[in-house]
Amino acid sequence: MGYPTIPEAARIFIDDEMSHGRSVEDIRADETEFQRIVLEMKIALEDRIPPDRLTFLERGIPDSIAYYKLLGLDTRPIIDASNHRRYKGIFILEPLEFVRDYARTEDDETVNMLDGLLYDSYSALGYKVNRVPVLPRISERAQFVLDDL
């Protein structure tokens, strides 16, 4: 629809590392370090977005709160970083059939836990979290989001 988008930082990192010959298993061997790098990438990517330009992010900085909680890590630095920027709207898409691939390796239980943690993380930061239902066409989901901004 012509809007700028920022893809998922984790996938950017994984793709880049794999292009240098590393396997996903090696990249994610230290999950804490992996999540730390992904968080740094999110912050760097968001710092480059002009504040007056509507941009859609696949994953925002507060998403890292959920991943850190899943690992039992301290979330205070992410909360601090999250409080320095505000998003116009938060949307969690109701899942379609979950498909694992080379980068998306979580099992169904972890996916469900993350969904709840993501909702809670944004809610705790004072956001209204909008659930985007499964609709027959992608264009309908996109319009649902645009109508709620």
The mean pLDDT of the chain is 93
pLDDT digits (tens, 9 = 90+) for 33-72: 999 999 999 999 999 999 889 999 999 999 999 999 999 9
% of the chain residues with pLDDT over 90: 81
pLDDT for residue 98: 67
The better pLDDT of the pair 116, 97 is held by 116
The better pLDDT of the pair 97, 87 is held by 87
Q: What is the pTM of this model?
A: 0.90
Q: Is 90 helix (H, G, I), strand (E, B) or coil?
A: strand
